Structure 1
Amino acid sequence: MEQKRDDTARDAVPAFDWDPRSEEVQADQIAAYDAMRGRCPVALGAQGNWAVFGHADNRAILEDPRSFSNAVSAHLTVPNGMDPPEHGPYRAIVDKYYTPWRMHAFEPTCRRIAHRLVAGLARDTEVDAMAALAEPFANEVQCAFMGWPETLHGPLREWTRKNQAATLRLDRKAMSAIALEFDGYIREQLETRREARTSGAEPPMDATTELLGEQIDGRPLTDEEIVSIVRNWTVGELGTIAASVGILVRFLARHPDVQGDLRARRHDAGLLARASDEILRIDAPLIANRRRTTREVEVGGRIIPAGERVVVLWASANRDEAVFDHADEFRLDRNPADNLLYGEGIHACPGAPLARLELSVLLQELLGATASIEPAGEEPRRAAYPSGGWSTVGVRLA
């Protein structure tokens, strides 16, 4: 009998180190990652993914695409789901859309959107900054960048809600249907521009039209490739920029000293961009990214076999005390090269210049149009994995 009890106890030991979707972790993802970083810096999750928490280990993964492949999806993902040498030519195309002169040209449009939305916020009463500012700003600014009509604002906001809900439920069937729905919006915009050319009219000169003229290896991009590029740009933008705005507003409301300093220096766009990066280092809008091992590797003292899924946790790496002393403190004197907010290596986020432009412009408009931003209402719950940020952000503006 005693031997039987021992066997039962041994068999009951879980074959994983943690469950990133557990209620305990979801209650406060950032706090849970901080705890795991000290207790188990490389952890096998209940879903079979290896989570990496430390800054040095994550940076090593990002700088080694030969050992840690980005080809993790069954669907075409251009270019971030590609490895060298295939990745390079596609990435060269994408990078052309985020040059300094393009950002300069887009800035007035971005500012008009931010100014209008901030001006429309209620004063001296509780406002949910997510619903009233963050979500519409992310939606409208991305549509403007792509050259899409205002008639898509409503459908895309509803699509974003459905996508987040399906992702949270891990409803694969719904996620596939929702992905096809989004691809339909992109294909409709491509077809509109083709029809304009066929009829002799000039299609709008925007990013969507330009992509129709791009070539790879001497041939035009296929519709599937264009749809994948635009999907990656837009889906990431809608969720991550909205989360970023919510995090920034909530942080300023709860740190009046930082708010006052940035308000006094709001005309310095570069300063606001650095401040945004630092706030988003503290509280990540994008929790993680995926890789797949191409060979047996050692990470943080643990052996990970070939073919395993690895999760790079930005939300943990950017709070690693070995790199960021007093990680919860807002400090503009930190080394910006240590901040992995937009990734690193060949797969670093190509849209980082656009994100920084959007967030600095929004901060300028918000700080310039208000005298104070204060917390209001109940403390919100954090967004659930794999999303970062907050579900609601209640504030009072004056």
Structure 2
Amino acid sequence: MNSIICAKEVAETTNNRFEREVYEFLREWILNHEDRILLQFDQPVDEYLVNDALRDFFLNTQHPIQKLLTNPFIASHLGRCVESVYFDPISGDPLLAATEQRIYNLARRMDSQQMHVPFRSVHPNKQTEAGDTANISTYPPNSEEIRYNSGNHFTSRPANTNVFDENSKRCVAKSDGNLHVLFKRGFLEERLHDIKSLTAELHDSGETDLQFFVIYSRHSFEEGHFGTSLVVMDPATPDYPKRVMVCDTLLKDLPHHPRWWNHFIAEYSNVFGDAISEIVEDLSHPLQKVNIKGDDPFRHDWDCPYYAASMANALADLVKNNSILLLTGSVVDIHDAMKDLMEDYYHPNREIKTRAVIQQVNRLKRWKSGREVIMDLVSEMSNKARW
């Protein structure tokens, strides 16, 4: 990804127009729904618009996000391309209009995960009543754990299920023939049981070709870190893999095992027996920075969903284009072949990109994930309008 810079002045101008558009939208809503206004009390309309109208709108409107998106300018602004966003050069936080931030925060309070635009909101306990992001100075005494928290910044907020669904949709689309991409909610052990069952079914149906399974999953209920695996199965022996390679995301160099190695081994052993540890090979990529207490929270790296998706995509592409390498090649050769396909994180000479560049890549991916949620909602509304 190339460097993308939006001038701060341009972003501020666009944000100001967005503020005016939202206020006009709310002003019209007030005129047409006087019976639903709960929070105005004795405030003049202009003051009410600034303080509480948006929260009133969310509280008293069915599908408030969808209603907002019926306004073309509001929809365009919330779903704008990353090139139109100014990011703080230090924290990486996008410059958002106050009402835009309030929209994301209020949407976060809703029961529907679909309305939760990833990375653009703070947890409800870090919001003011109106939906603004509370200043850390207003946190209660003895709240260091809340103050020191990655969730306060766009670049280090954990991903939600919308991001999982986005990555899943793209990667699963590569499944074809003897390539099976297992990109589901749940944990590694569940996916390994799926592999055994599916391989047995293929054997019973007369299949003889080797089967390649790319798995993207969390390790376990106790350990929620994402990882990727490639499991090669022979239908003639559905109870034991022909080859197993696993990929973690934390910084390390081959041949040293990553921090989550024991979790991989434990899950595989639970399904295939302890002997499986003898054939599990390490294809991990040193992409994710280890979070160190004392770092600024915005420097924390919670981007394992993107790293793991990149590795899963690379493995799926290798199955399609060079399965012989996956069957007979060395771990080093396969590792290098993955680097060639993971262009977001590696240079053409296979050197890993700098931490600053990787952070920028992930920042852009984060914004695009939110944009995809917005555009899906707009598309869904458009489809319903045609029915």
TM-score range, shorter chain: under 0.3
* TM-score for both structures, normalised by structure 1: 0.25
* TM-score for both structures, normalised by structure 2: 0.25
Higher-Rg structure is 2
Q: Which has the higher contact order (CA 8 A, sep 6+)?
A: 1
